[in-house]
Amino acid sequence: MKNQLVAKILNNIADILELQEVPFKPQAYRKAALTIESLPEDVEKIYDQGKLEELPGVGEHLAKKIEEIILTGKLKYYETLKKEIKVDLEELNEIPFLGPKKIKVLYKQLGIKNVRDLEKAIRQQKLRKIAGFGEKTEQTLLEGIKLFRTKPKRFLYASAAAVVNEIKTEFKKYAFVQRVEIAGSFRRGKETVGDLDFLVVSSQPKKVMDLFTSFKDSKVLAKGSTKSSIRLANNMQIDLRVVNEKEFGSALQYFIGNKEHNVELRKFALKKGYTLSEYGLFDSKHKKWVAGRSEDEVYRKLGLKYIEPELRENTGEIEAALKNKLPKLITIKDVQGTFHNHSKWSDGNNSLLEMAQYAEEMKFKFISFNDHFGHMGITNPLTEKRLKGYLTEIDKVQKKVGLKVFSGVEVDILKDGSLPLSPQKLKELDVVVAAIHLSTRMNEKEMTARVCNALENYPVNILGHPTDRLLNERNGLALNLDQVFETARKNKVFLEINSSPNRLDLSGEQVKSALNLGCKFVIGTDAHDCSQLQFYPLAVNMARRGWTEKKDILNCWSLPKIEKALQK
């Protein structure tokens, strides 16, 4: 499994080329890196099938480089580039708010080569003397260094998914494996996972242990008769345990967790006269086994409805199961279309037609285009002048495809909470996504007022990536979320659940609190490329973790109902 490695090397090359001011090439490397990082399957498999060049953003040239990484684990071109520059880009890049451009300035002006140099320079108050860096930047970077040093290593769900698929596929090839299931935080659909937990049913545990511990490119951390752990090249740890069929359900229940849910469930079992462990549900008095083959059986014997893994966070799910008040969670199949997509009209990589046709192939019933409008630090935003041409092309695309095409923009919420397009002009569009992109360092009171002002005074349909968090990189904006949710509800603004693998914004927990305040949601793919339309199941995870049903998510409604709900 070399997806992570390939993506990392390509990304690092992009950074170096950017530092060297090479035009265009960095974007090409970055695009290919993103494609490979979020691939649902093993890049080696695609290579074996000779299909590397079919991946979006991968041409002959890049395919050769990817081949070299797959075959040797390294890339000569990258090693040469690294020697050319004297800066530890990989390390400095880990610091939030630092990108290749800033790193370059710091190197040229202050000779900063690594995080240690950076910290020293900040302590000596040297950064504030450089144009574009102030006292505030020093503070921000110092916080970033702290975060970098203490950051727990968690993996994005999307990058773990490729590993999960691969292990499942591999294990299913063998007759001595009766079942293989993923448990832990991954099974609960969490946006990041600490490690992966597998459960296997087999009557030949030794064979399973041998198979697992010889998994390619991995290091064996522990090998037992029914339990082993390995570490992959990218540092991801995988635990695997073999159980027999009779205890499979109770073991799965235990390993899906989370821990707090398990603790509560055991307490609940005790009250009912049972003892629950990973080995089964037992009658407390006679120590007799009563259930454990399936999870369903365990919950049922306890007098509870089956609880979906995404709900098992000990936030009231056991009580709801007891009272038969669990939500009927939305599923991937319920999602009829997608909002918030970009094309070449702003910073996307595909044309409107290509995106719409791809969505149609995915059996979507609608797609909403929301190219960036306004100045927001991207190269090619829509302007009032270009808006007409954009809308004309959307009309043309609508005539060529069989799914509904909504017109719209993603407009930046300015510092004062105004939008750079008048309410009248916005009303001419089907779907208005408003989001914050710039001036992100405001205090909670100002930031909350900024967002609420936009929702109250403009015909906004969707609040895009409401918290603006980036997983493993930065926390969300300073916002009083309850106040934002309340304002969204009052103004009939849908809250986005953004599907980008490193956003997943809102989170499941936030969806749940917004739902309790009566809010409604949309799933937005924020696709900048056809293939990114396939990210929507990641948002479905958040929606499920947020207890939502079909009625709560606009993407699941009928087209006439959607159109009505979008009228402003």
257 contact choice in Ca ion, ligand DGT, none (CB below 5 to 8 Å, kind-dependent): ligand DGT
Cβ atoms of 542 and 497 within 8 Å: the answer is yes
Q: Which residue number has the CB closest to Ca ion?
A: 184
Determine, following the binding rule CB under 6 A, whether residue 262 of this chain makes contact with ligand DGT: yes
Smaller CB distance to ligand DGT: residue 197 or 371?
A: 197
255: partner contacted, choices Ca ion, ligand DGT, none (Cβ within 5-8 A by kind): ligand DGT
- Residue 529 in the binding site for Ca ion (CB under 5 A): no
Q: Which span (176-184, 206-214, 421-429, 453-461) binds Ca ion, by CB under 5 A?
A: 176-184
Of the pair 258, 480, the CB lying nearest ligand DGT is at: 258
Residue 259 interacts with which of ligand DGT, Ca ion, none, CB < 5 to 8 Å by class: ligand DGT
**Binding of residue 191 to Ca ion (CB under 5 A):** no
Residue at token pair 């319920």: 334
Total number of residues that touch ligand DGT (CB under 6 A): 13
The CA distance from 52 to 325, in Å, is 48
Nearer to Ca ion, 220 or 362 (CB): 220
Dihedral, 160, 164, 167, 171 alpha carbons, nearest 10: 170
DSSP 8-state symbol, 474: B
d(CA 218, CA 1): 10
Residue 336 binds ligand DGT, judged by CB under 6 A: no
* Distance of alpha carbon 94 from the chain centroid: 18
267 binds ligand DGT (CB under 6 A): no
Reading the block at residue 526, the tokens are: 């924020």
Please state the closest distance from residue 549 (CB atom) to ligand DGT, in A: 25
Find the part of the chain contacting Ca ion (CB under 5 A) among 101-109, 197-205, 545-553, 560-568: 197-205
Q: How far apart are CA 282 and CA 270, in angstroms?
A: 10
Q: Residues 20, 165, 244, 258: which binds ligand DGT (CB under 6 A)?
A: 258
DSSP label at 466?
T
* Counts of helices then strands in the chain (DSSP H, E): 24, 19
As a residue count, the chain comes to: 568
Task: Supply the minimum distance, in Å, between the C-beta of residue 271 and ligand DGT.
Answer: 16
With 0-12 / 13-18 / 19 or more C-beta atoms within 10 angstroms meaning exposed / middle / buried, residue 18 is: buried
Q: For residue 351, how many other CB atoms are within 10 A of its CB?
A: 15
373 is a site residue for ligand DGT (CB under 6 A): no
Going by the DSSP 8-state scheme, the letter that residue 315 receives in this structure is S
| 277 interacts with ligand DGT by CB under 6 A | no
Give the torsion sign (CA, 158, 163, 166, 170).
negative
Q: Which is nearer to Ca ion, 22 or 263 (CB)?
A: 263
Q: Of residues 110-169, which lie at the interface with Ca ion (CB under 5 A)? A: none
Residues 5, 69 contacting (CB under 8 angstroms): yes
Residue 195 makes contact with ligand DGT by CB under 6 A: yes
* Dist CA 393 CA 420 (whole Å): 22
526 interacts with ligand DGT by CB under 6 A:
no
Residue 123 interacts with which of ligand DGT, Ca ion, none, CB < 5 to 8 Å by class:
none
- Considering the rule CB under 5 A, would residue 195 count as an interface residue with Ca ion? yes
Which residue, judged by CB position, is nearest to ligand DGT in the bound state?
Answer: 257
Alpha carbon distance 10, 410 (integer Å): 29
Residue number with CB closer to Ca ion (254 or 373): 254
39 in Cβ contact with 162 (< 8 Å)? yes
420 binds ligand DGT (CB under 6 A): no
For ligand DGT, which residue of 185, 336, 350, 531 counts as binding (CB under 6 A)? 185
Paired tokens of 34: 């993103």
Binding to ligand DGT by CB under 6 A, coded x per residue (else -) over 236-255, reads ------------------xx
Q: Which of 269, 335 has the CB closer to ligand DGT?
A: 269
What Cα–Cα distance (Å) separates residue 507 from each residue in 210, 260, 299? 38, 19, 27
- Under rule CB under 6 A, residue 221 binds ligand DGT: no
Q: Which two tokens stand for residue 123?
A: 């302590």
262 binds, among Ca ion, ligand DGT, none (CB under 5 to 8 A by kind): ligand DGT
Shorter beta-carbon distance to ligand DGT: residue 282 or 557: 282
Is there binding between residue 408 and Ca ion (CB under 5 A)?
no
- Cβ-in-10-Å burial (0-12, 13-18, 19+) of 167 comes to buried
- In the bound state with Ca ion, the residue whose beta carbon lies nearer, of 136 and 259, is 259
**Residue 337 interaction partner, one of Ca ion, ligand DGT, none, beta carbon < 5-8 Å per kind:** none
Q: Which is nearer to ligand DGT, 187 or 372 (CB)?
A: 187
Q: Which one among 94, 239, 468, 552 touches Ca ion, defined by CB under 5 A? A: 239
- For Ca ion, the binding residue among 94, 166, 191, 197 (CB under 5 A) is 197
The helix (H) or strand (E) run that includes residue 404 is strand 404-406
Q: How far is the CB of 533 from Ca ion (least distance, A)?
A: 29
Q: Is the dihedral of CA 289, 294, 300, 305 positive or negative?
A: positive
CB of 295 to ligand DGT, least distance (A): 13
Q: Is 263 an interacting residue with respect to ligand DGT (CB under 6 A)?
A: yes
Q: Under the criterion CB under 6 A, does residue 197 sit at the interface with ligand DGT?
A: yes
Which region holds residue 452: left if phi is over 0, alpha if psi is between -120 and 50, else beta?
Answer: alpha
Rounded to 5 degrees, φ, ψ at 122 are: -65, -45
Calculate the alpha carbon distances from 478 to 396, 448, 469, 485, 545 in Å.
41, 8, 10, 14, 23
CB-based contact 349:341 (threshold 8 Å): no
Q: Which is nearer to ligand DGT, 269 or 391 (CB)?
A: 269
- Residue 122's contacts (CB-CB under 8 Å, 6 or more residues apart) are 138, 141, 142, 145
Tell me the two tokens of residue 39: 């691939």
Query: Judged by CB, which is closer to ligand DGT: 166, or 195?
Result: 195
User: Closest approach of Cβ 516 to ligand DGT, in Å?
Assistant: 24
CB 510 to Ca ion: min, Å: 22
In whole angstroms, what is the distance from residue 317 CA to residue 335 CA? 24
Residues that bind Ca ion (CB under 5 A): 184-185, 195, 197, 239
Residues that bind ligand DGT (CB under 6 A): 184-185, 193-195, 197, 254-255, 257-259, 262-263
